[in-house]
Structure 1
Amino acid sequence: MADIFIVDDQGPEATAMLQALYSRSDESARKHLEMVKERGSAKFMESYYVGYGHASIGDCGTTTLFVEGLSILACKAVQDNPLYSGQESSTRYIDFSKQPIIDPIATDASKAILDKWMDFYLGALEPLEAYLKTQFPIGEGEKERVWQNAIKARSFDILRGFLPAGITSQLAWTTNLRQAADKLHLLRHHPLAEVREIADGCLAELRKSYPSSFGHKDYPETEAYLARTAFKTNYLDADFFGADQPDLSFSTTVDNAVLEAKELDVIEGRPQRTNLPRYLDGYGQYTCTFDLDYGSYRDLQRHRNGICRIPLLTGERGFHGWYLDELPGDLRTQAEALVAEQYAAIAALDACAEDKQYLYPLGAKVRCQTVYSLPQMIYVIELRSQNTVHSTLREVMHWMHAEMIKHHPRLTLHTDLQASKFDVKRGTQTIVKREQMDA
């Protein structure tokens, strides 16, 4: 009978080494664990790690980094990794009105732009909540606290469009040691100075905690290459697309005749909450190009499988109309004038496009492109079409659904195709003590 046990009371490096020794020793990890406890993890690592010869040992030890006071732009840079696991502050549930804002341009003109965005955000919160309460009155049997939370969440949904991308947030990143080293090595060459500083800061902390795992040698040729390709590695900008690129574009390399001939029993009749098997990745990809506000792009980027590059945040695509449509008349008039004024002021600044991103609002439209396999497409469409998802992203998911059905008429899809509506259940999607929710 197999001997099964758990080791979760050792540091990441020692745990990694315990796993790695399976490839070099037939002794039980129980014996190696005794050695760790007798000698200490540092001595144990000194004895074994250097001579192992494989970077993969770093895959076996995990750690969690907490980064606070970084811009939303920097959050996206850290999370731009198919192996990222972690969490970030949500603009849909948290009042960002008191958060500091990072301004790399640091002029009177740039400060004035940021102040105007925040003045509108602050001034609109109370009247918008009052307006929404008239539009969505509390229903019979609904709890007051839950309804209030749902109204507040709806307000944040709308007003997040006017938050500048330089607003600060916080994130947690759970990663294995090798992935941390690889990702941070790339981020040291990021176009944003803030991101480069975060990379250096994370590496400094990791070297202090795990000296045996972060003594990697740098090669000048590699560093030069990473510096030369840094912009393309990190941003998708308008130059990537042709002048005749339509606002909506869908293409696929998946041959439906072949797919149905071989996999009809797999793609048809799939029950809800069940993923397609991963081997279907081999049938090809789907490339979707569309406009989306930067705030909802952030939600889409959370799906790490496939390709969803970070768009360069500019004013070229305009401002998403949904954020204006949801405001009462007087606030809408004020918001329309503000957006026009702010976009012109940002364009007039003497600064590079990368730094101007900090001043554009999350409601700014960006051109996005996703490249997914069949299982990835289905997963994203079904999850991000649910009513609790932001309306602007749901609209894109509904378009993707229609394209998939057009290309694969016998494919089972459990997409929520109902129009977006206010749902008091949004008020339960929070993290509080149970007795507070019961009140």
Structure 2
Amino acid sequence: MHAQEHEVFSADERAFLAPYFTNLDRPVFALRNLPEVVKGALFARYSRSPKSVRRLFLEEFLDRTEGTPGVEVGVERAERLYERVFDEYGDDSVAQLGGVHVACEGVSNVLTKVLEWGRLMAYLEQSTRYIPYDTKVGGRWRYVVPPELEEHPLRASYEETLDHLFTTYTEWLPRLQNYFAQRFPREPGDPEAAYRRSIRAKALDTLRGLLPAATQANVGLFGTAQAYELLLLRMRAHPLGEARRCADWMLAELRKVIPAFLRRVDRPDRGEQWSAYLRATREATRKITRAFTGNATVEPRPEVVLTDFDPDGETKVVAAALYASSHLPDDELLALARRMTAEEREQVLRAYVGERQNRRHKPGRAFERTFYRFDVLTDYGAFRDLQRHRMLTIEWQPFSPDHGYEVPEAVNDAGAAADWRLAMERSAALYERLCRAGLEEVAPYALCFAFRIRFYMQMNAREAMHVLELRTSPQGHPVYRRVCQQMHRLIAEVAGHRAIAEAMKFVNYESVDLERLGAERARELRQQERPAPSR
């Protein structure tokens, strides 16, 4: 680092470099104004060159023939480099060096779960809590008609049923807002805008169970080229036409910004072969699963069940906490932790966890030494929120009406129960008609968010701390708050990891009437404290 600290560039070189590097005099700098493929290629050269990135840029990537460098500087050179690295060296890691933001708009809430499956990407999804679905766009309610139904005789029934669901949602939205305003009147001192937004959020949270999985959403994704390649391979192998069509559109757009990274996706000997493998294993697994479980009876279960954990997990976390500050090998530290008294182990954990001031203060990787596996049966709306946690393992079963549906207490109290039941009945009936027509993969589009879905979540204790403290915060949706509160109790009472559960001190069990009110009050306060813009 210090050997390159005093690298000197001529006046002409500095003029060429200045638009693309945040400084020319220090050993730490950022790249800017360059195509993703060029930035990635520059870093890829690090492993096979003793030169600095700025020197490599000048000598190998900067095209000076036009007098001044343009936005496409070095692209041709970068693409040739990637072709050689991928094909000759087989080095996939260079695909981690380019990143892209992609927007997928108007996709179904079935497809959002496909898009958000990968761990190593970032996602933001349109929220049913803040966006009401009570207006039409172009004369149509905001739901997706899957490609399989575009020319199908059942399209009319599909649209009639989903129109009914959206109409019911729209009719009850103002009525639920009035109901909540009467039940939870505004307190003196509460800002009017904050109170109004909280009432609306409460109504939207309650009514989202009426929305079908076909409901449209906008999703923003950011990921590396490698992450996009894996996403596209899965989507191209997916049984749903919407997923395959979206993959084609994404590939076309990504090739406009990172073409060199995605050469293999649709090559017969590479990407197509990989996608074929995914299709084959999915079908084979489905077939063998039906053979072994087809006649099994599903027994009633609690909403959350802790199905697997390590009884010795808390002791292993103690040993792991000692590891980085010790010179002893891992197995000897575990033996030492087992010889400790319970009080001594608690002392170690207290020192390791420290005095946490808020939920963002988290202990280190020792908490990754033990795990919890939960089987969850809850409504699709809560599943959508929990599925977006990526630093854990989550799998879900086919979405069907077989497990029944949720009826929020407010639906009964406000007099909406009959309309709610009718919506669920029509939703389930459409699902069954689609299945009888051989459209089992498409049938979940018809199901309301209130129907339950079974999934498992397996996470280490460190991720459990993050998920449970975040998802039990007072502003959270009541259903996933309830699910995560149960998980926390199971860690303490069934796994017996009481010290780990106690370390999760920001898991919140408080009963809240208007979940968003506290956050909206804070928002109003921040706006008041923000200095006025200068004129």
Note if 1:24 corresponds to 2:48: yes
Between stretches 165-174 and 44-53, larger displacement belongs to 44-53
Match of 1:342 in 2: 427
Structure 2 residue 462 is matched with structure 1 residue 368: no
Count of residue correspondences: 434
Which TM-score applies when normalising by structure 1? 0.90
TM-score (norm 2): 0.75
One-letter amino acid matched to 2:489: A
- Which of 1 and 2 has higher RCO (CA within 8 Å, sep 6+)? 1
CA distance in 2, matches of 1:255, 1:155: 45
Residue type of the partner of 1:330? G
RMSD over equivalenced CA pairs, Å: 2.9
Partner of 2:367: 280
Alignment of 1:245-394 (within 5 A): 246-247=301-302, 248-250=304-306, 251-256=308-313, 258-259=315-316, 262=319, 263=321, 264=345, 265=347, 267-268=349-350, 269-270=353-354, 271=356, 272-273=358-359, 274-281=361-368, 283-322=369-408, 325-349=410-434, 350-351=436-437, 352-394=439-481
> Residues of 2 paired with 1:74 and 1:291: CA distance?
21
What is the SS of the residue equivalent to 1:170? Answer: strand
Cα distance, 1:276 vs structure 2:
2.9
Can you give the 5+ residue segments of structure 2 that lack an aligned partner in the other structure? 6-26, 65-72, 322-344
Is the 2:400–2:453 Cα contact (8 Å) retained in structure 1?
yes
| 1-structure distance, mates of 2:421, 2:126 | 27
Q: C-alpha displacement at 1:284, in angstroms?
A: 3.6
Indicate the structure (1 or 2) with the bigger Cα radius of gyration. Answer: 2
Provide the secondary structure at the position in 2 that maps to 1:229.
helix
Listed one character per residue, the Cα deviations across residues 87-111 of structure 1 (whole Å, up to 9, x for unaligned) are 1100011012335211233522212
Displacement of 1:291 in angstroms is 1.1
What CA distance in whole angstroms lies between the structure 1 residues aligned with 2:284 and 2:300?
19
- Map of 2:76 onto structure 1: 43
**Secondary structure at 1:353 match in 2:** coil
Map of 1:54-69 to 2, 5 A cutoff?
Answer: 54-69=91-106
- Written as runs of structure 1 = structure 2, the 5 A alignment for 1:121-160 is 121-160=169-208
Output one character per residue of 1:202-221: Cα deviation in whole Å (capped at 9) or x when no partner: 01111233222211144365
State whether structure 2 residue 231 is matched by structure 1 residue 175: no
Which consecutive residues of structure 1, in runs of 5 or more, have no partner in the other structure?
Answer: none
The answer to whether structure 1 residue 7 and structure 2 residue 31 are counterparts is: yes
- Provide the rounded CA distance (Å) in 2 between the counterparts of 1:158 and 1:215: 46
Map Cα deviations across residues 213-269 of structure 1 (whole Å, 9 max, x no partner): 2111443653432112346999xx996997457334212035146336524456445
SS in 1 for 2:415: helix
Question: 1:405 matched to which residue of 2?
Answer: 492
Return the match for 1:103 from 109, 129, 145: 145
Q: Which moved more, 1:41-50 or 1:178-187?
A: 41-50
Residue 79 of structure 1, aligned match among 100, 116, 127: 116
Rounded to whole Å, the distance in 1 between the matches of 2:531 and 2:451 is 38
Aligned equivalents of 1:256 and 1:294: distance in 2?
31
Q: Deviations along 1:152-185, whole A, 9 cap, x unmatched?
A: 1111101111001101111111011111111111
Describe the shift of the 1:100–1:338 C-alpha distance in structure 2 as closer, same or farther (beyond 3 A). Answer: closer
Q: Match of 1:148, as an amino acid? A: R
Structure 1 residue identity aligned to 2:466: Y
Distance 1:438 1:101 in 2: 41
Please report how far the alpha carbon of residue 37 of structure 1 lies from its aligned counterpart in structure 2 after TM superposition. Answer: 3.8
Mark the CA change 1:242 to 1:37 in structure 2 (over 3 Å): closer, same or farther.
Answer: farther
**What amino acid sits opposite 1:11 in the alignment?**
P
Please, which moves more after superposition, 256-265 or 366-375? Answer: 256-265
CA distance in 2, matches of 1:120, 1:332: 12
Equivalent position of 2:340 in the other structure = none
Please identify, of 48-57 and 224-233, the stretch whose mean Cα deviation from structure 2 is larger: 224-233
Mapped contact 2:109–2:213 kept (Cα < 8 A): yes
Q: CA deviation at 1:430?
A: 8.1
Match of 1:422 among 506, 514, 518: 514
Percent identity over the alignment? 23
Aligned-pair distance for 1:427? 3.4
